Structure 1
Amino acid sequence: MQRVRIGLTGLAGVFVLVLFAAAFFGVVSDEPTVSTDATGNVVIEETANTAAPVGPPKEPLAELGVAPGAAPEAGEGNVTPSDGAAHP
């Protein structure tokens, strides 16, 4: 019975420790604050050191170098030969 009590006490201690760490890092995070205004529209309030995102990555694994990227879409650097000859 004492082993169970010690185990549960340790588990509760770890839970409290993680709870405090989450509260601390939640206060000092650089993420923008998201709230709603009186009409129900979502409002994103950016902090002073939050950079505006460029956009979602098209190929996140290819940007990390983990997987090969997909073929570029039409107009994104596809070069066709102008002499009409087939190139391998």
Structure 2
Amino acid sequence: MTDLSHLARPGAEIAVRVTPRASRNAVILDGEAIRVTVTTVPEDGKANAAVVKLLAKALGVAKSRLVLVRGATARDKLFRID
């Protein structure tokens, strides 16, 4: 698991690129970009919930502190840490 704890500041906005239906769950730091791959399907918010769980673990914050600001139905998402 990629450690992103250095990004976990209140008010920080984190842009991620999501790949649903991947072969495994992972958080990948690719240069400046953060890519999250999840095995769940993108229906009924299941993939978003999986992304929140993985991202919160990588950041070392509670899931409830992550707020999806933009991209609920898109692959490019923007999260804010409260």
TM-score (norm: length of structure 1): 0.19
TM-score (norm: length of structure 2): 0.19
- In terms of fraction of residues, the more strand-rich structure is 2
- In terms of fraction of residues, the more helix-rich structure is 1
Greater relative CO, 1 or 2 (CA 8 Å, sep 6+): 2
Structure with greater Cα Rg: 1
